[in-house]
Amino acid sequence: MTMTIAVIIPSRYESTRFPGKPLADLAGKPMIQHVYERVLMSGTADLAAVATDDPRIFAAVEAFGGRAVMTVDTHRSGSDRIAEAAGILGLREDDIVVNVQGDQPVFEPVQIDEVVAPLIADPSLPMSTLIYRIRRDEEITHPNAVKTVFDRDGNALYFSRSTIPFVRDRGKTADYFKHHGIYAYRKHFLDTFTKLPEGTLERLESLEQLRALEHGYRIRVVVTEHDSIEVDTPQELDRIRRLLEEQFSS
């Protein structure tokens, strides 16, 4: 039986800094449509779906011909939402579920191919995620840029909003890696993960991937060459608009 690779985009209407963000107009389309269309450009994705608890988002996705799944409105995280959606879609235990954030409208489709590659190559891996070598110095210390350190086999050791590793001695330098919010899970592990109790480190850092590490599960990290702009404010949406205008005019 062929394994299915399903990309699910969790999307909610409410946002403290930017209510209605998924439906914000971007070059004549709602932002969620840009994310969805880029998912379809991936070479490995077998299906795409938006998981939402809001009828406005559900209707918008169906209006542009996309697939939407209605979930309950009590989920504590996007992972919980895609886990419910994976069940509704009838995915099998060994299928791969990719979580692509709905606020990254210019992510590179090849990043989906990159994040699923370790799970295809190694059936024992439960999950994987993308990281990017930081090139902008301000991100090294910015708490919204989550830093990652990993072992020689490419398994994550820790994720932190602080600067890791800390370089103690003068004259020494380090490469810093930023975590991307694109994950791939085996469906059976996603179900397990969402049932795990919240970890202490997860609560302190407000980073749910630490829950997996605290409970002893491996997270394989993949270094991508592609950065991605996350839209958390209307000002960042304007930045994306300018970027798309430049692409269309070139």
Reported as a single tens digit per residue, the pLDDT across 117-166 is 999 999 999 999 999 999 999 999 999 899 999 999 999 999 999 999 99
Query: Mind giving me the DSSP string for 30-78?
Result: EHHHHHHHHHHT-SS-SEEEEEES-HHHHHHHHHTT--EEE--S--SSH
Q: How confident is the model over 158-191, as pLDDT tens digits? A: 999 999 999 999 999 999 999 998 999 999 999 9
Tokens linked to 202: 């997860």
Look up the CATH superfamily of 5-249: Spore Coat Polysaccharide Biosynthesis Protein SpsA; Chain A (3.90.550.10)
The pLDDT, as a whole number, for residue 230 is 82
Phi, psi for residue 14 in degrees, rounded to 5: -75, 135
Output the furthest CA–CA distance in the chain (Å, rounded): 58
- Alpha carbon separation from 46 to 40, 55, 84, 89 (Å, rounded): 8, 25, 18, 12
Q: Where are the domains of the chain?
A: 5-249
Q: Residue for token digits 């107009």?
A: 25
Amino acid letter, residue 137: D
For the cut 70, the answer to whether the pLDDT of residue 250 exceeds it is: no
pLDDT digits (tens, 9 = 90+) for 48-107: 999 999 999 999 999 999 999 999 988 888 899 999 999 999 999 999 999 999 889 999
pTM of the model: 0.93
pLDDT digits (tens, 9 = 90+) for 188-227: 999 999 999 999 999 999 999 999 999 999 999 999 999 8
